[in-house]
Structure 1
Amino acid sequence: MFKRFEMMIAWRYLRARRSEGGISVMTWISLIGIALAVFALIATLAVRSGFRHEFVGTIVGANPHVSVHSYGEALPNGQLTRTMAEYEAVTARLSDLPGVVSAMPVIEGQVMATANGRNAGVQVIGVTLDDLRNVELVAQPEESSGSLDAFESGIALGAVLARELGVAAGDRVRLISPDGIKGPMGTSPRIKVYDIAYVFRVGRYDIDRIRVYMPFEEAQIYFNRAGVADQVHVVTDDPEAVDTLAPGIAAAAGDDTYQFTWKDNAGAFLRALKMEDNIMFVILSILVLIATLNITSGLVMLVKNKGRDIGILRTMGLTEGTILRVFFLCGASIGVIGTAIGVVLGCLFALYIDPIFSFVNYVAGGGVWDPSVRYISALPARLELGDVLSAVILSLTLSFVVTIFPARRAARMNPVEALRYE
């Protein structure tokens, strides 16, 4: 597409000093601007992808992909119970479905935990030891203490909750449930002390702050759920495709049940992330556009300074197309080189974000990242090919487009006018 002498002329113009009619300063400004814009775009896209990956990972790693509930039945006293009496049969049918890794009956309840004069509201989940091992981020957490094998003789709780209560593995904690023992004087709170067998940190603040796991049979006794379960949790092999499995899960669970997926429960967060993604991409695309406009200003100056050269080249027989390609190469080369530098910087930032963030946190004196606000315990970054390609395509497209105007202006320059005063 481009002849060798055209590339040679374009390269000479780019290297020419300002005293020779070149635009070396503007060239460097344009190149650095494009590189920084592409770097910012790739870094932002990498952090965005990392946020979603980590956020989804903590959801599906410590929560069910699908939770199956019962519509319940009316008791003789008029109360409505939503427990599942045939939970074992439902669990067996769900476990046999293709795409389902495991199904587990659970008991859920909200109680108060107290220790060392401190109180905290907690979410208690009753589950068997074998099923708890299938909860990925609890069985293989970021940090842990105690032993998961001792779970059947105690309870497991999140690390943030343990810190707030001032307890650790091997200590004891008191759980208080308002829905306790029923007697002639009414219902009295149920108070029971449990040994802490296991402390885990999954990396998501709202889970580490309130989550408590209790042995399934003990939870049935504690919450007055003898012979029943509250719901069945389902774990699939592909959480992103959970919607395609929903009809099969509904059919296997039965007509008297309904279900929630992890996307239903986290829909607001996912929509907020998607909206933020789109807004950030648009904003940073404008920055790339501004950076590429420097190419236009630089080429306009170059065309003005090289007017005599253009006139001489035209009189030597060069066509308008040749002149256009020469100056197009000047602008496109700046865009290509700047984009390449930006891609390298952006990829390095995504790959080495942990030491970079540690340095920033050290310089700022710590406390830059508050997991209680952002839910995730570290700044994530995930380098994806699609994000890099979108940044490259955007930058190169804008660089080529903004180059066309000054290149066409140079090509249409009248050689007689260019050499009139020479």
Structure 2
Amino acid sequence: MPGRTAPFAPFEWMIAWRYLRARRAEGGVSIMTWISLIGIALAVAALIITLSVRAGFRAEFVDTILGANAHVTVYYTGESGPNGQISRTIADYADLTGRLAEVEGVTRAAPLVKGQVMASARGATTGVEVFGIRAEDLATIPRIADPIEAQGDLSRFGPDIEGIAMGSGVARSLNLTVGDRVKLISPDGVKTAFGTSPRVKTFEIVYLFTAGRYDIDQTRVYMPFAEAQSYFNREGVADEIEVMVENPERVDQMAFDLLRAGGDRALIWTWRDASGSFLRALDIEDNVMFIILSVLVLIASMNIVSGLIMLVKNKGRDIGILRTMGLTEASVLRVFFLCGASTGLIGTVIGVIIGCLFAIYIDPIFALVDGLSGGNVWDPSVRGIYALPALLQWQDIVSAVALALGLSFVITIFPARRAARMNPVEALRYE
């Protein structure tokens, strides 16, 4: 009794390779093989590129949030004052800041005074949001102290020279640079017997920053804390406390400790509260895009099926001869499985290489596309960030490879089984 053939024996690989590289005159379908391989490669590359851009966009968006904004904002509930007006200001901001700083996981707590004013210079005006902050606290904000681009000297920020730090977008709108002076106009100014008159004051720009977020660079101005208290009629009080934490992803777990440290009137607003809807939209978009591109990979994999069906039809005579020579059904199945699986494997490898190279060199590629299209591909006022980012993650590459190889291997089984079950007598009847 003849011994059983070991699975995927060398002769099975040899036959499969012979069929894959056969010319059309020899009954091969090399053109269909190339079409299948290119389709798989492009589909896998598209999947990896999309996943890397998605990961990069999310990482850049979150980094700009965490790098230039409070991880947690602590403010007070409204309290009725002597004149009947509701006030949310924090009179004991120094004590509150100290208590919040002592909470485990908090890296910094800083009092803020905030207000919206008009900035005017050289006949141009624009609305800006002013953050009153201490110089030592401003120096610890990553996207401000260490921005993408900066001009001036942050150490000059302070009340002595009435210097302010300004976003590059604001400066560009007003045609200003470091050393120029800008006029800030607040509608809530000096209270007189005839009403409230606007407060107008001129400040020197000592520092310009590009945080990497369009809405921040286009609207934000930092003013020394004591100066902001005087300018916005907040003498002796603060509007809120800006809290930075060690692990922003765990900010929800810290909410109770922060509220307990804040006291009875304290309320908190986390960065997830501010951007949660956008992050959830990104998650939904990620899932939808993965499903859509999975369908693209499936369509590309179907080319392997059509190519194998043609290969089985053209090689019917060879299958009949091999079966009469003693080749088992299992060996025939493995031969044609190797044909389809090899195409899927090679296409996947090529696709991974293309996708990774595209993600790594996305900046020059995007610059080329942007230049050819006239520079209107990416609008930061709509996207929020200045460039198309890409972040390669091993889990994205693994998921793309697993999907492509899984589909390629599974769909290859069906035409391979058809070849294995072919009756050698029927195959050789008309030969």
When the two structures are superposed, what TM-score results if normalisation uses the length of structure 1? 0.98
C-alpha displacement at 1:370, in angstroms?
1.6
- Aligned equivalent of 1:263: 272
Looking at structure 2, the residues matched to 390 and 270 of structure 1 have their Cα atoms a distance apart, in angstroms, of 22
SS in 1 for 2:317: helix
2:212 paired residue number = 203
Per the alignment, residue 60 of structure 2 pairs with 54
Hey, what's the Cα distance between the residues in 2 that align with 1:305 and 1:167?
75
> Structure 2: which amino acid aligns with 1:20?
E
For normalisation by structure 2, the TM-score amounts to 0.96
| Partner SS for 1:187 | strand
> Residue 209 of structure 1: SS of its match in structure 2?
helix
Secondary structure class of the residue paired with 1:233: strand
| Separation in structure 1 between the aligned mates of residue 253 and residue 392 of structure 2, nearest angstrom | 27
2: CA distance between counterparts of 1:61 and 1:94?
Answer: 20
Find out whether 1:120 has 2:129 as its counterpart: no
- How do 1:293-332 and structure 2 match up within 5 A? 293-332=302-341
Aligned to 1:191: 200
Unaligned runs of 5+ in 2: 1-6
8 A Cα contact 1:107 1:126, kept in partner: yes
Quick check: 1:72–1:84 contact (8 Å CA) kept in 2? Answer: no
**Which structure 1 residue ranges, 5 or more long, are not aligned?**
none
What does residue range 146-225 of structure 1 map to in structure 2 within 5 Å? 146-152=152-158, 153=161, 154-225=163-234
For 1:242 and 1:421, the matched residues in 2 are separated by 76
Q: Shift of residue 364 of structure 1? A: 2.1
Total equivalences in the alignment: 422
2:292 is matched with which residue: 280, 283, 287?
283
Instruction: Report Cα offsets for 1:129-183 as digits up to 9, x if no partner.
Output: 1000111100011111111011103111100110101111111111111111111
What letter corresponds to residue 115 of structure 1 in structure 2? Answer: A
Shift of 1:368: 2.3
Question: Does residue 27 of the first structure (1) align with residue 33 of the second (2)?
Answer: yes
Asked if the contact 1:126–1:214 (Cα under 8 Å) also holds between the matched residues in 2, the reply is yes
Which residue of structure 2 lines up, in the alignment, with residue 99 of structure 1? 105
Of residues 11, 14, 18, the one that matches 1:12 is 18
CA-CA distance at 1:72 after TM superposition: 3.0
- Residue by residue, what CA displacement relative to the aligned partner does 1:173-216 show, whole Å, maximum 9, x if unpaired? 11111111111111111111111111111111100000000000
> CA separation in 1, counterparts of 2:156 and 2:413?
71
Q: Which amino acid counterpart does residue 89 of structure 1 have in structure 2? A: D
Q: Which residue of 1 is the match for residue 256 of structure 2? A: 247
Q: In 2, are the aligned partners of 1:111 and 1:121 still within 8 Å (CA)?
A: yes
Q: Which residue of 2 aligns with 1:139?
A: 145
One-letter amino acid of the counterpart of residue 225, structure 2 = F
How far apart, CA to CA, are the structure 2 residues paired with 1:2 and 1:243?
54
**How far has the Cα of 1:381 moved from its partner?**
0.5
**RMSD value, Cα:** 1.1
Code of the residue aligned with 2:31 in structure 1: it is: V
Which of 400, 405, 423 is the matching residue for 1:414?
423
- Post-superposition shift, 1:263? 1.1
Q: Residues 350 and 382 of structure 1 are in contact (CA less than 8 Å); yes or no, is this contact kept in structure 2?
A: yes
Distance 1:326 1:86 in 2: 80
- 1:361-376 maps to which residues of 2 (within 5 A)? 361-376=370-385
Which contiguous aligned blocks of 4+ residues in structure 1 show a shift greater than 3 angstroms?
Answer: none
Query: What amino acid is aligned across from residue 166 of structure 1 in structure 2?
Result: N
The one-letter amino acid of 1:176's match is I
3-state DSSP class of the match of 2:157?
helix
Kept after mapping to 2: 8 A contact 1:72/1:82: yes
1:366 is displaced (CA, Å) by 2.3
